[in-house]
Amino acid sequence: MGAQVRTIVTRNSLDSWEALWAPYDETTYRDALAFIRPEDTVLDIGAGDLRFARRAAAVARRVYAVEIQPALLHHQPPLPPNLLVICADARQIPWPRDITVGVLLMRHCAHVGLYTRRLREIGCRRLVTNARWRMGVEEMLLEPRMPWSAVRIGWYACLCGAVGFVPGPPSAVTPAVMETITEVENCPACQPFPG
Ligand SMILES: C[S@@+](CC[C@H](N)C(=O)[O-])C[C@H]1O[C@@H](n2cnc3c(N)ncnc32)[C@H](O)[C@@H]1O
């Protein structure tokens, strides 16, 4: 691969599930692509063999694809000019500051909170992911949310990737409560943000 691939060596090992390379089905890629806009600059975190990054590059202004396993980036056909591939640990490297949307297609990701906070820090307000519910693809909005402590009852989904249910008296568990998911931050599962 040519000048569009940068390799940055880091030492931290990954959780064994996170380190697994496995492609998703076409529905997952199609659903994720539906959130990508022509004016977007995309950060594809854990890009695998670039199959989504290439699709995104056909739609978006620019795509940065970060993948930790060099073997997945070997023997690639030529890259489109707006796709920059970085072989590195996405947790460790500085990120470009022009990113408008993150993509995290990694169902077993243990670092959703780190990625959402870093995206927020550089002013990015959207993350397209299947990591939180571990099922379909969603677009997480990264704007400030209500604190978890303000949820009285019902389902919540946190910026850190945790989801759960705040219990209450059975009489208060109405169908409306069961159908509502409150977007929160600072839930009990949140880890302190390093740096
Ligand atoms: C389940 S695969 C999905 C690949 C790709 N997102 C896709 O949907 O085709 C997850 C990929 O993320 C990579 N990965 C996990 N953690 C990473 C990290 N911290 N930095 C870079 N790549 C990572 C793994 O090496 C693996 O290739």
> Cα(44) to centroid of ligand 1, in Å?
9
Sign of the alpha-carbon dihedral angle for 40, 46, 48, 49: positive
Name the segment(s) of the chain with CATH classification 3.40.50.150. Answer: 5-141
Ligand 1 probe mutation, 6, 12, 18, most atoms within 8 A of CB: 18
Q: What is the per-residue pLDDT across 13-57, written as a single tens digit (0 to 9) for each?
A: 677 888 889 999 999 999 999 999 999 999 999 999 999 999 999
Write the CATH number of the domain with boundaries 5-141.
3.40.50.150
Q: Which atom of ligand 1 is nearest to the CA of 28?
A: 8
Specify the 3-state DSSP secondary structure of 29.
helix
* Per-residue pLDDT tens over the stretch 85-94: 999 999 999 9
Spatial contact of 119 and 127, defined as CB atoms under 8 Å apart = yes
> How far apart are the C-alpha atoms of 80 and 97, rounded to whole Å?
21
Tell me the C-alpha distance between 32 and 139, whole Å: 8
Q: Which residue has the tokens 């930790």?
A: 68
In angstroms, the CA 126 to CA 105 distance is 14
Neighbouring residues of 28: CB distance < 8 A, sequence distance ≥ 6: 105, 130, 136, 137
pLDDT of residue 195: 45
Tokens 């996405």, residue located = 90
3-class SS at 97? Answer: coil
Whether 3 shows a pLDDT value over 60: the answer reads: no
Reply yes or no on whether the pLDDT at 11 is more than 60: no
Tell me which residue of 117, 134, 136 sits closest to 125, measured CA to CA.
117
Distance 148 CA to ligand 1 centre (A): 29
